[in-house]
Structure 1
Amino acid sequence: MQQTAPPKDEWTNKELMLKITEVPDENDPYHYHKLSDADEIRLVTIKPGKWTDPISCELTCHSLDVDDITEYSTLSYAWGSPRVTENIILEGRTWPVTVNLANALLFLRDHEKPVKMWIDALCIDQSNLKERGKQVQLMKDIYSGGTQVVVYLGDGKNHRPKRLSEHHIISKAPTQQHFYNDERDGVHLEEFWAALSASAMPSLPMNDGSKRPRIRSRHLSSTFHMFCLLRVLGDEVLTSDLVDRMRKLTAMDPSCDLLGTMVETLRCMLLNPWWQRIWVVQEMIVSRVAVVRCGTVTCPWDMFIAAASSLSSSSVDMSTIFRPDSIKVLQYFCRQVLSFRDLHNQWKKNFGAPMLTLLQDFSARRATDERDKVFALLGLASHSQRFLALASYEDSVADVYRATAVELIRRGHSLEIWHGDLARKNRRDLASWVPDWSAVYDEGDRQRAQRGGSEKGERSSAWKLTVVQSEGGYWKFVAEGMTLLLHWINENPQERKLPKRMEEEFDSYHRLLNITCLDFYRRRGANALVTTVERIQELCINLKAHCSWGSAYEDLAKHPSISAFGRSAAFYREVKSKSEVGQVTPNMDSESRDDFWFGKDTAAWLDRMVIRYETVTFRTPKSETAIQHHFRWELDESRWYPDGRRRKSFLSMESMPLGTVRHVGERIFSWDDRDSAFSTISKWVSYYEKMSGYHRVKLAKTLLGETNLTETLKSTAEVDGVGDESHRDTVEALLLEWLDHVLERHDFPDDANMKPLNEALVLATTGRVMFALNDSTLGLGPGSMTVGDEVMMLPGTSSPIVLRFRLPERDESLEGPAYAVVGDCYLDPSSSDEKKKLPNPWPGWLPETIMPIELKKYWERRRIYLF
C-alpha cells in the first residue's frame, strides 16, 4: 500500500530540520564554483518578478565551444562607484552590486519570463585574478556570440543612478516604450507631433483680460520625447517639409524652446559614464546587434546612427531650428555615435585595427583598473590572438605596460610607439621608453600619427625590428641572415665581394662552432639546434669562397647590415667555462689578435657579455635585410643596488647623433585659441630669422612639418605640375605669400590654393614647439623638450628621436651614456647633412664574432642606454 506524505502540520521535527537545510541562508555570501574549461563562461538568469519584488538571479556554466549554447544577451554599462552598493539575491544568497547595475537589472527584468544574460560583474569571479585574465581573453567571443548587446544608459531621469528604494516608491511598473526605426514607430511620432503642437500654442487672452494658460504635454522633457526627436532627425535626410514644420512650431512662441528642452534631456543622457568607458568600445564593435535601453524606452542602436548620420551630412542650417547650445550637444552626439560606426566598419573590413592605433585613439576613455586601458582593446586588434596573452591581472600595471610596448615593437617591427610626447606620463614607475598607456594621448600627436599611418611604409626607416627571444630563435636568425647574404653575393658576383681578410674569420667561427657549440647542444640533446648550427658551418664554407680583395671592401665597411651584434647566452656561457680551463675562445677585446686567444681576459669579456636581455634585429621591409642590435633590460631579479633598490630595466641601442638642442620656442597647445597660436608662430619666425638668417621659405617648410608639399600642392590649379624642377620658383612664391599673410594678418588666407597649407600648419604645430640645434638646424618637437636635449637617429624609427641625458644608477656593464626618451621630432630636411642618413643596408648579415675589427666601424654611431 502506497504511503502518503503526512500533512504539513504533522511533519516531525527531524523532517522539518531537513527541509530547512535545503534552503540557502541569504546572509551567507555566495562563493563561485571554479570554471572547469578554458572556454567556459557563466550566464546569469534574471528571474521574473513584479516591479517591487527583490531582484533574484542564478548562474549556470556553459562552454563557448558548444554549437547549441543557449541564446543570451550581453550587457554594456558603466559600473559606477564600488563604494555605493545595493543588495540582490544571487543563488539564494545576498550579493552586493553597484547601484547602476541594480538599476539595470530592475529595468531589464521581465514580469513573466526569465532573462538570460552575460554580465561581467556577476559572471566573473572578480576576486580571482587568474580567472579575470582568462575571461578577458574570451571577451570578444562572448560579445560576438550573444544575440544582442543591451546598452544601458540609466533610468532616463538623471545621469546619476538612483537607489532601488527610490524606484520602488512607485508601486506600479512604468509603461515600456519600444522604437523599431521603421513604420511601426508611427504611433509614437503622431503623439510626438501632437505634444509639440499643444505645447507650442501661444497663450490667448480671455474675457477678463487674463491669458489662458498654455496647453503643455506633461512629459515634454521625458526620455520618450527625446527618443522621438532622434527618430525624426534620422529620417534619411532632413527634408525641407520637416524643417519647415519644426520652424513653424518654434515660431509659434519663440520664448518656448521646445526642441531645446528635448536636447537638454539628450545632454543628460550623454553625461552617463558609459560614453567615456573604455570597455564599451569592444562591446559595441564586435556585437551582432545593439539595443539602447534608457529607463523604460528601448530602441535599436541603428536609430542613433541614422540620426547622427543625417545631422552630420545635412546641408540645412541648423541654427534656424536649434539654439547654439543645443547645436553643440547634437554635434557631440554625432561624434560619439559615428566614431563607433566608423570603427565597426573598419574592424569588419580589416578584421581588426592596429593595436597602437587603438591605444592612441581611445586613450581618453576611462577605466577603473589602469590595466584595462590595454586589456579592453585586445580583442579589437588585428591578429588579436597574438596580443591576448598580455591579459593577466596578476601582473602589475608597469609590467603590463612594458610587455605591451615590447609586443608592439615585435609586431610592428619598428619603434613607432615613440611617436608623440613620451614625457607626458601619469606613472613614475615606467622606463622612459615605455609609453604610459593610461595617459591621454595629445590630440595633435594622435592626428599626426593617424595621418602618417598610411605613409609610414613608404617613408619609414630602412631598418625593421625583429625580436629574438630564444636560443633556437637566435641561431635561426643567424642562419637566415647568412643565407640571404650568400644569395645576394651569388646574384651579384662582380659588385659584392667579401674581403680576403674574412677567410680567417670564417675558419675561426667554423672551428669554434664545432669545438664548443655542437658539443654543447649534443650533450643537451637539442637536435634542432645542432641541425641549425651545422647549417651555419656550411654557410661559412660557402661564404668563404667569395672572399677576395677589391673595392667592395670599403663599401662593406659602410654597411651595418653585414654585422649582427647578437650572442647566444647558453653558448657563450659554455665558451666562458672553457676559457677558464685554458681552451680556445675568441677574444673580441684585443684588436691585435686575428684568430683565437687564451686566458682570463677573454673570460672577463664573456662575463660582461652574458645575455640578460632580449635581442632586436633591424630589417628593411623590401629586401628583408637586417642588423641585430640589443633590445636589453635586466632579467636577473636577484641583483640589487647597495641601498636596496632593484635595478630598473633599460634598453641598449646604437645611435647616430644629429645635434644638441640650443633653443626651444613657446608651445602651441591648441589652435582653438587662434590669436595665441598665430602670436606664437610670429615669435618663432622672428627669432629664427634673427638668429640664423633663415630664409622665410625654409621657415615656411619647417612650419609645415612632415607635409609632402609636392602632393599637397599638386591639387591646386596655380601650381599644377609642382613636382617639376621648373616650378620650384612658383612653389616658393606661394609659400612666401602664404606665410606673409599669416604673419601680418594673424589669420589664414581664404585662397583655395592655400587652404592645404593652412590645414598642414595646424596639423604640424599642434602641441609642438619649434627648436634649433647647435648647427642651426630647425625642427618641430614635443612640447616637453628643453634646451640641452639631444636629437639622434635610431634604427627602427621614421623620425629623429629627442633624448634627455640622465645620470642613472649605473654599473660597470654600461659602456655608454644614459638617456630618457622624450619623443619623436621633425627636422628641416634641407638642413640635414647627407652623411647623417642611415646607410642603405645590404640584404643579409653576419654575427659579430666573424667580423674583423676594422669592419665594425661604420657610420658615426654611439651605443647609448635608455632608462
Structure 2
Amino acid sequence: MSSSSSIKTVEPRSIYNPRNEVYHDLHPSEIRLVQLLPGQWADKIHCRLQHAYLANRPSYKALSYAWGSPRATRPILVNGCQHAVTVNLESALRRLRRVNSDVVIWIDALSINQSDHEERSAQVELMHDIFALTEEVIVYLGEVTSDDFTTLTKSVPTPATVFHFDGTDNEKLDIFELGAPRRRPTTGDTEKDHLPAFDYTTRQFLDTKYQRRLFEGLRQLMLCRWWNRIWVIQEVVVPETVTVVYGSATAPWEMFVNAARWDSRNRTSSAPLNFPREYSTVLAYFSRFILDINHMRELWRHGKQTSLLLLLRRFSGRRASDDRDKVYALLSLVRNQTSIFPNYSLTVPEVFQATVLDIIRTTRSLGVLAGDLGRKDRQDLPSWVPDWSTVYDDSDRRRDGMKNFNSTDGCAVYVQDEYTAKYTGIIEYLDDIEKAFKAKTGAKLDQVERWSVKWLSVILGTTDWMDYAPPEGTQASHEGVERFLAARGDAVCLRHIGSGIIELAGLHFDRIKFVGQPAISDDMLLSTIRSWGRLLQPHLQSLNERYLAREGNSLGSVFRRTLCADTIRTGSDTKGFTNRRLRNSAKDHASIAAWFLQGEQSEVKVDETLSIVSISDELRQFSSLFEDLGDLDSLLRDVPSQIDSAIRSATTRRTLFLTARGHMGLGPAKMREGDSLSILLGGKTPFILREAATRSISDHGYNKRQCFEVVGDCYTHGLMDGEAMRKWRRIHGKGKLAEKESEGAELDMTLVTSQVKGLTIEGEGENIKKGYIYLV
C-alpha cells in the first residue's frame, strides 16, 4: 500500500497547537510518521512529520534503537525547524537515508511529543499496534567503535554489506579471514564444520588472529546499548520482519537466532567444541540475549499467553530512561491479562506497587514475592515490592522455574484495593467461583438471587459457611464467606491499606536461631557449604533424633535434600527444562555426597600393584552426614552436571539456617538470627520476615500493629508441601475455632477469637501470635 493513500500532512489550519511549532495534536488512534527526505551522506538530515490513522494500514518502517545520552545531541531539521536529537539517532537517520527517495519511518523520539505526558501515555498504548503493523522493524545497533574496524565519518560513507542468510554470504565472510584460505573439512560432516569460524583448519588454531578478530567483533557488537534497552523486547517480538543494522552491515534477525541456537546445542552436546574461557563467555552472553527474545517471538506467533511476572523477571536487566517503562514497555505482550495501563502521572513506587497487586490479583497467588526482595537499588519501595529497575539475578531466575512447591496447599489470594468498598475482593473471587461452577455443571443460577443464602450455598457446595457468619449485619454473608474460606485455607484476602502497607493472613511459624555464612562467591561455594556442615556439628544428635521421629529421615538425608532445595533440574535452553523432586533417590543422594567430598581425596598405596583413593582426614568430620550411604570412600565418583547445577541454583546467594524448633532450610543472604520463618497464605514457599516499626492501621480503628518487612522467600525442609496448611485446616471446626491438637503434637495452634486472627504457635518456650500479618 502506498503511503500517499493513508498518510496525511497536517496543514497549518489543522488542530494546530500554537505552543509548539513542530507538533500538532493527535486524534485518537492516530500516529505521527517521519518522512526522511533524500540526501547525500554528508548533507544535514531533513524530516517532515505526517499524521496517519493505523486503521488505514499506512506503509512505514519502524526504528528500534537506543536513544543514547540526552546530553550529547546533534541538530536536524523537522518541519523546517531545528530540532536536537541524540547522536545515536542522528547516526541511524544518516544510515537509513536514501539518495533518491524518501523513507517513511516511525521513530519514538520524533513521532511522540515527549514533553506531553498525556500524549505519551496514549501513544505508548498504541506501540504494540505500531510495531505489529509495520512492514519492517529496523534494529539499529549503532556504529562500529573498535579501532580494528571501520568507523562512521561525516564525509565518506562505508560501503554497505548486506547479509541474506544464504550461500551468497560466504564471500562477505571471507573478507574477515584476512587472507587465511578456507579449506574443506577433513573431519565428519557436522553442522559446525560448515561454519567458517569453526571449520577444521581454524579449530586447530583457536588463538589465530582471525578468531581473535571474530570474537572481539562479537564482543563489541554485544556492548551496543540496544541489547540492554527494555523497549526492544516489544519492538522485536511483535513484528513479522526484523532487520539488524550494525554500522555498514545489514542482516536478518534469523541469522542471529541460528547462531545462538548452534551455541546452545554445542554447549549441551556430548562432544562440545571447546573455546577459551573469554570466547565462551562472549558466546554464552550473545546466545542468552538472542534466545530470550526469540523465545518470546515464538510464543507470540503461536498465540500463547505470557504472564507479566515472567516478562518482568526475564527482562528486568534491561534499561530505560524512565523506570516506569520497566513495566509499561512489557504491557502489550501480556494479551489482556493485566489491568495496568501506562500512566506517567504516577510515581515509580506507585507504578511498581500497582503492578505487584495486579499480578497477585491475576495469578491469585503470592508468587510475585518470591526472590530476594532485600536486593534493591531504590530505597523508596515497600519491602514486599520487587525493584523492577534492578537486575533480576540468574540464580533467582533458575529458582523461579521450580514450580514443584506448594507450602500453602493451593490457597488462593484475592485483593482488596485501598480505595474500594470493604468486600469487593471477596465479591470478585465469588464471581470467578460462579463462572467455574456454571462451566463445570452447566447449571443456571439466573433465577437465584445473588448473595442469597441459597446462591452462596450452591456455588460453595455447602451450608457450613453460615456457621462463620455473625448473627446480624448488612454484610454478614460477605463476612461469613470470607471467614469460612480462610478457615478452610481455600482463599484469603490481601488488603492494601495504603501508605505501602498490606494485610494478609499467615503464620509466624518459627524463629531463626542459627544462620550460616552466605554463599556469595561461586568459586568459594564448596568451602561455604562445608562451613554449613560444621554449623550442624554441635547439634548432630538432637537434630538426627528430631528428624527420625518427625519424618523417618536422618539428618544427613535432610541436609542433602536441602542443599539442592529437594529439586533436580534436567533439560536445556533449546529443549526446555523439567524438574523432579530429589526425595529418597539413592543415586542422587550419593552424587550430592560426592559433590561435597570432591577434591579432598588422596591416593593411598597398599602394595606395589594396588592403590586406593581415600577421603582426607579433614572431611572425616562430616561422616555423620553421609554414614547412611555407606563408607565415605565408596562415595567418590564423578558428579553429574545436573547435580552440580541443582546445588548451585539452590544455594547461590543463599545461606543455611536452623530454627528454634529444628527446621532446616535455605534463605536469603541477608537474613539473620531472630527473623521469623513465616507462612503467608497463598505463597508457594515459606518466607523470612523481619520485625519493623509498629504502624497505625486505619482498617482496625487506627490501632497500633506490629509490622514486618519481607526479606525473601526460603526453602524449609518439611514445610514445602502444605504440611502447615493441613494442620491449619484440621484445627478449625464449624465456626468454633478454639480446638487444640492432642498433647505432644509438633505444632499447637489456638485461635483465640472467632475470626482468623490471633493464632498462637506453641514451641520451645515461645508463643508467636498472628493471624493477620502486616507488611511494610
TM-score bucket (shorter structure): 0.7 to 0.9
Residue 467 of structure 1 corresponds to 415
Please tell me whether residue 309 in structure 1 is matched to residue 261 in structure 2: yes
- Equivalent-residue separation in structure 2 for 1:542 and 1:154 (angstroms): 63
Q: State the 1:146 CA deviation.
A: 0.8
- Equivalent-residue separation in structure 1 for 2:281 and 2:570 (angstroms): 37
Q: State the 1:692 CA deviation.
A: 4.8
Residue 352 of structure 2 corresponds to 401
Q: State the 1:857 CA deviation.
A: 7.4
Q: State the 1:295 CA deviation.
A: 1.8
Partners of 1:703 and 1:761 within 8 A in 2: yes
Residue 109 of structure 1 corresponds to 97
Please tell me whether residue 410 in structure 1 is matched to residue 401 in structure 2: no
Paired residues for 1:437-452 under 5 Å:
437-449=388-400, 451-452=401-402
Q: Secondary structure at the match of 2:142?
A: coil
Residue 63 of structure 2 corresponds to 75
Partners of 2:426 and 2:482 within 8 A in 1: no
Q: Secondary structure at the match of 1:810?
A: strand
Q: State the 1:394 CA deviation.
A: 1.1
Partners of 2:407 and 2:720 within 8 A in 1: no
Partners of 1:669 and 1:767 within 8 A in 2: yes
Partners of 1:618 and 1:628 within 8 A in 2: no
Paired residues for 1:318-397 under 5 Å:
318=273, 324-381=277-334, 383=335, 385-387=336-338, 389-397=340-348
Q: State the 1:740 CA deviation.
A: 4.8
The amino acid across from 2:702 in the alignment is S
Q: State the 1:834 CA deviation.
A: 5.2
- Equivalent-residue separation in structure 2 for 1:87 and 1:438 (angstroms): 31
Q: State the 1:162 CA deviation.
A: 12
Residue 36 of structure 2 corresponds to 46
Q: State the 1:706 CA deviation.
A: 3.9
Q: Secondary structure at the match of 2:35?
A: strand
- Equivalent-residue separation in structure 1 for 2:731 and 2:69 (angstroms): 58
- Equivalent-residue separation in structure 1 for 2:283 and 2:429 (angstroms): 59
Greater shift in the superposed pair: 660-669 or 464-473: 464-473
Write the deviation string for residues 6-53 of structure 1: whole angstroms up to 9, x where unpaired.
xxxxxxxxxxxxxxx99xxxxx9733111111x211111100011121
Write the deviation string for residues 210-230 of structure 1: whole angstroms up to 9, x where unpaired.
xxxxxxxxxxxxxxxxxxxxx
Write the deviation string for residues 255-280 of structure 1: whole angstroms up to 9, x where unpaired.
96123123322322221111111111
The structure richer in strand per residue is: 2
Q: State the 1:731 CA deviation.
A: 7.3
- Equivalent-residue separation in structure 1 for 2:593 and 2:280 (angstroms): 38
Cα distance change on mapping 1:388 and 1:137 into 2, 3 Å = farther
Partners of 1:463 and 1:626 within 8 A in 2: yes
Residue 550 of structure 1 corresponds to none
Q: State the 1:866 CA deviation.
A: 1.2
Paired residues for 1:493-504 under 5 Å:
none
Partners of 1:464 and 1:626 within 8 A in 2: yes
Cα distance change on mapping 1:705 and 1:686 into 2, 3 Å = same
Write the deviation string for residues 45-97 of structure 1: whole angstroms up to 9, x where unpaired.
1000111211001111112222xx22111111110000110000001110100
Cα distance change on mapping 1:436 and 1:474 into 2, 3 Å = closer
Residue 497 of structure 2 corresponds to 633
Partners of 2:671 and 2:688 within 8 A in 1: yes
Q: Secondary structure at the match of 1:305?
A: helix
- Equivalent-residue separation in structure 2 for 1:788 and 1:442 (angstroms): 26
Q: State the 1:175 CA deviation.
A: 2.1
Residue 818 of structure 1 corresponds to 707
Q: Secondary structure at the match of 1:71?
A: coil
Partners of 1:618 and 1:796 within 8 A in 2: no
Residue 654 of structure 1 corresponds to 505
Question: 1:536 pairs with 452, 477, 484, which one?
Answer: 452
Q: Secondary structure at the match of 1:387?
A: coil
Cα distance change on mapping 1:678 and 1:256 into 2, 3 Å = closer
Question: 2:241 pairs with 289, 296, 302, which one?
Answer: 289
Write the deviation string for residues 390-444 of structure 1: whole angstroms up to 9, x where unpaired.
3111110011001101100011101111101111122222211121111222322
Greater shift in the superposed pair: 132-141 or 802-811: 802-811
Please tell me whether residue 827 in structure 1 is matched to residue 716 in structure 2: yes
Cα distance change on mapping 1:742 and 1:446 into 2, 3 Å = farther
Residue 239 of structure 1 corresponds to 193
Question: 1:183 pairs with 151, 167, 186, which one?
Answer: 167
Cα distance change on mapping 1:561 and 1:301 into 2, 3 Å = farther
Q: State the 1:308 CA deviation.
A: 2.7
Write the deviation string for residues 548-588 of structure 1: whole angstroms up to 9, x where unpaired.
xxxxxxxx7xxx99758xxxxxxxxxxxxxxxxxxxxxxx7
- Equivalent-residue separation in structure 2 for 1:388 and 1:147 (angstroms): 30
Cα distance change on mapping 1:750 and 1:734 into 2, 3 Å = closer
Residue 95 of structure 1 corresponds to 83
Name the count of aligned residue pairs: 663
Cα distance change on mapping 1:741 and 1:840 into 2, 3 Å = farther
- Equivalent-residue separation in structure 1 for 2:322 and 2:690 (angstroms): 31
Greater shift in the superposed pair: 115-124 or 458-467: 458-467
Residue 23 of structure 2 corresponds to 32
Instruction: Identify unmatched segments of 5+ residues in structure 1.
Output: 1-20, 23-27, 202-234, 491-529, 548-555, 565-587, 589-593, 597-601, 635-647, 712-719
Q: State the 1:346 CA deviation.
A: 3.0
The amino acid across from 1:247 in the alignment is T
The amino acid across from 2:696 in the alignment is R
Partners of 1:657 and 1:790 within 8 A in 2: yes
Q: Computing the radius of gyration over CA atoms, which structure comes out larger, 1 or 2?
A: 1
Partners of 2:408 and 2:721 within 8 A in 1: no
Cα distance change on mapping 1:688 and 1:541 into 2, 3 Å = closer
Cα distance change on mapping 1:49 and 1:422 into 2, 3 Å = same
Write the deviation string for residues 656-685 of structure 1: whole angstroms up to 9, x where unpaired.
1211111111111243x1xx1111111111
Paired residues for 1:614-763 under 5 Å:
626-634=490-498, 648-671=499-522, 673=523, 676-693=524-541, 694=543, 695-707=555-567, 739-741=596-598, 751=637, 755-763=641-649
Q: State the 1:340 CA deviation.
A: 2.2
Partners of 2:655 and 2:668 within 8 A in 1: yes
Partners of 2:193 and 2:199 within 8 A in 1: no
- Equivalent-residue separation in structure 1 for 2:447 and 2:592 (angstroms): 62
The amino acid across from 2:201 in the alignment is R
Partners of 2:594 and 2:636 within 8 A in 1: no
Please tell me whether residue 86 in structure 1 is matched to residue 74 in structure 2: yes
Paired residues for 1:137-176 under 5 Å:
137-158=125-146, 167-170=153-156, 173-176=157-160
Partners of 1:475 and 1:532 within 8 A in 2: no
Residue 550 of structure 2 corresponds to none
Provide the alpha-carbon RMSD of the alignment.
Answer: 4.8
Greater shift in the superposed pair: 47-56 or 337-346: 337-346
Q: State the 1:348 CA deviation.
A: 2.9
- Equivalent-residue separation in structure 2 for 1:136 and 1:426 (angstroms): 26
Residue 773 of structure 2 corresponds to 864
Write the deviation string for residues 116-172 of structure 1: whole angstroms up to 9, x where unpaired.
111100001100112111211121111111111111121234599999xx73233xx
Q: State the 1:334 CA deviation.
A: 2.6
Q: What percent of counterpart residues are identical?
A: 29
Residue 196 of structure 1 corresponds to 179
User: Could you state the TM-score of these two structures normalised by the residue count of structure 1?
Assistant: 0.67
Cα distance change on mapping 1:134 and 1:461 into 2, 3 Å = farther
Residue 603 of structure 2 corresponds to none
Residue 229 of structure 1 corresponds to none
The amino acid across from 1:430 in the alignment is L
- Equivalent-residue separation in structure 2 for 1:30 and 1:707 (angstroms): 62
- Equivalent-residue separation in structure 2 for 1:282 and 1:380 (angstroms): 7
Cα distance change on mapping 1:478 and 1:401 into 2, 3 Å = closer
Write the deviation string for residues 763-808 of structure 1: whole angstroms up to 9, x where unpaired.
2111101111111211111111111111111111011111111114
Cα distance change on mapping 1:837 and 1:772 into 2, 3 Å = farther
Residue 606 of structure 2 corresponds to none
Residue 257 of structure 1 corresponds to 209
The structure richer in helix per residue is: 1
Partners of 1:561 and 1:841 within 8 A in 2: no
- Equivalent-residue separation in structure 1 for 2:564 and 2:590 (angstroms): 15
Partners of 2:695 and 2:706 within 8 A in 1: no
Cα distance change on mapping 1:75 and 1:702 into 2, 3 Å = same
- Equivalent-residue separation in structure 1 for 2:165 and 2:432 (angstroms): 60
Partners of 2:509 and 2:679 within 8 A in 1: yes
- Equivalent-residue separation in structure 1 for 2:148 and 2:347 (angstroms): 32
Q: Secondary structure at the match of 1:435?
A: coil
